[in-house]
Amino acid sequence: MSSNVELENLNIRFGDFHAVKNINLNIRDGEFFSFLGPSGCGKTTILRAVSGFNDPSDGQIRIGGEDMLGYGPNERPTALVFQNLALFPLMSVAENISFSLKVRGVSKAQRRKKADELLDMIALSGQGDKLPSELSGGQRQRVAIARALAVEPKVLLLDEPLSALDLKLREHMRVELRRIQQKVGITFIYITHDQGEALTMSDRIAVMSHGVMQQVGTAQEVYDNPATPFVASFVGENNSIYGTVTRLENGYAQIKTCFGELTGRNEQNLAVGDFATLFIRPQNLSLMADEPFENIIETRVNDQVFEGEFEHLHLVGDRRNLVVSLVNDGNIPAFEKGALISVGFKSECAVVLPAGDMAYE
């Protein structure tokens, strides 16, 4: 039986507050699907609705084609990994993992067997008799995942499971999670505010802002072809330059900005006269050397920041600084603050989107 998750016209309100607005989505069977968005955008609310802790105010949630309304969390084919893990502190690691089996009346020996299997999978063999408090953060994390997997759910829901870990461990756990997902082959719905996590792990990503789903697509689609200014500014670093569309030409739009006329891809069918924002990524801006660029920005240096592999050059932009990311090949010139320089970019690297809300960190 398929276990795709369909959200149809999903709306969730808390009193007057509209937390989730009209989401339509089909999460495929066996997919690693992420909801990405800043905190407070309604990600947890969606996840809780899927797992059965709150009901949709409007619309439907279907798993494997079946409407889930009226099924409690204990009756759905889902398992939730909580943001704070919520391991049972008085139970051993093995008891935690096999808790769902105990509830289902599975015999003690079989429970132990299943727990050992799962402990193997999360590389914690032989640690079943410890208490959760005796494990490290990363180990506890894996126990929480194993506990949820013990139910053999069709859909595993993960609510920012890595947010409590430090950077190195987080990066390691990304790989680990992906490995586990491929091994068990079930649908994972993953929530995060960390675009790095979403981009590296997911088959597809839904970018959310204020309860609205901004875009759904693969990591490449979302990164390379952002559909809205919010996505363009939230996923990865981006420079934004405001203007009005002046000319359209086979898929490209030219806009008039304070730096003169600039051109980028017109994916959203803008018309002449529309207010627009041009987005160009820091690594796609280059210092003027000998290459002739279609687009040239002449402005002053604000700051030069050394980052190791990269050096970031902050330039005076139209509202915020423009950032140029230079690969540190050992001969980046030093710029004086206030010096006038020119940077250029290719039109195919830039995207022009209708003016709208942006994500500001």
Partner 1 sequence: MNNYLLPLASLIGAALVIVLLVVYQRSSLATSTGFGRFLRRNGIVVSCYLILSLIGWLFFMIILPQLYMVDFSFSQNLPPSKIGGPEDVYTTQNYEYLLFGPQGGEESFNWLHLKIFLRTIIAAVVVTIIDLAICYPVAYYMAQVASSGRLRLLALCLLLPFWVNEILRAFAFRILFGSGGVMNSVLMWLGLTDQPVDFIRADVALYSGLSYAYLLLMIFPLYNAIESLDHNQIEAAKDLGCSWWRVHFEVVMPFAKPGIASGSTMVFMLSCGALAAPQILGGPSSLWFTQIIYQWFNTGGNWPQGAAYAFVLLLVCIIFVMAVMKLFKVSFGEIVK
* 74 near ligand ADP (CB under 6 A): no
Per CB under 6 A, 16 contacts ligand ADP: no
Rounded to whole angstroms, how far apart are CA atoms 11 and 216?
Answer: 17
x/- letters, 150..179, toward ligand ADP (CB under 6 A): ------------------------------
Q: Which does 86 bind (CB under 5 to 8 A by kind): partner 1, ligand ADP, Mg ion, none?
A: partner 1
Cα 215 to Cα 37, 209, 219, 228, 279: the distances in Å are 11, 10, 11, 8, 16
Nearer of residues 101 and 326 to partner 1, judged by Cβ: 101
Q: Encoding tokens for residue 319? A: 């509202």
Taking CB under 6 A as the rule, does residue 361 contact ligand ADP?
no
Applying CB under 8 A, the span of 85-93, 126-134, 269-277, 294-302 interacting with partner 1 comes to: 85-93
Work out how close the CB of 359 gets to ligand ADP at its nearest, in angstroms, rounded to a whole number. Answer: 13
Residue of the chain from 104, 108, 172, 179 that contacts partner 1 (CB under 8 A): 104
- Is 149 a binding residue for ligand ADP by CB under 6 A? The answer is no
Helices assigned H by DSSP within the chain: 43-51, 93-97, 99-103, 108-121, 137-149, 167-184, 195-201, 219-224, 229-234
41 binds ligand ADP (CB under 6 A): yes
Q: Distance (Å, rounded) from C-alpha 15 to C-alpha 31?
A: 33
Residue listed under structure tokens 């088959």: 203
Amino acid of residue 305:
V
Count of residues engaged in binding ligand ADP, rule: CB under 6 A: 11
**Which lies closer to ligand ADP via its Cβ, residue 39 or residue 331?**
39
Interface pick for ligand ADP out of 9, 26, 40, 303 (rule CB under 6 A): 40
Taking CB under 8 A as the binding criterion, the range among 79-87, 163-171, 182-190, 283-291 that sits at the site for partner 1 is 79-87
Q: What angle do CA 63, 199, 303 make, to 5 degrees?
A: 145
Cα–Cα dist 171/192, whole Å: 14
- CA–CA separation, 33 and 186 (whole Å): 11
C-alpha 97/C-alpha 220 separation (Å) is 36
Among 6, 23, 31, 44, binds ligand ADP (CB under 6 A): 44
Tokens representing residue 281 in the block:
């990524």
Rounded distance, CA 221 to CA 201, Å? 14
Query: Which residue is closest to ligand ADP by CB?
Result: 44
CB of 177 to ligand ADP, least distance (A): 18
Closest CA to 287 of 222, 348, 203, 345: 345
Chain positions contacting Mg ion, by CB under 5 A: 44
Q: How far, in Å, are 206, 313, 319, 347 from residue 352 at the CA level?
A: 21, 23, 17, 10
Distance, in Å, from the CA atom of 94 to the CA atom of 72, rounded to the nearest integer, reads 26
Q: Is 103 in the site for partner 1 (CB under 8 A)?
A: yes
45 touches partner 1 by CB under 8 A:
no
**Sites of contact with ligand ADP (CB under 6 A):** 14, 17, 19, 37, 39-45
**Sites of contact with partner 1 (CB under 8 A):** 51-53, 72-74, 78-80, 82-84, 86, 88-90, 99-100, 102-104, 147-148, 151
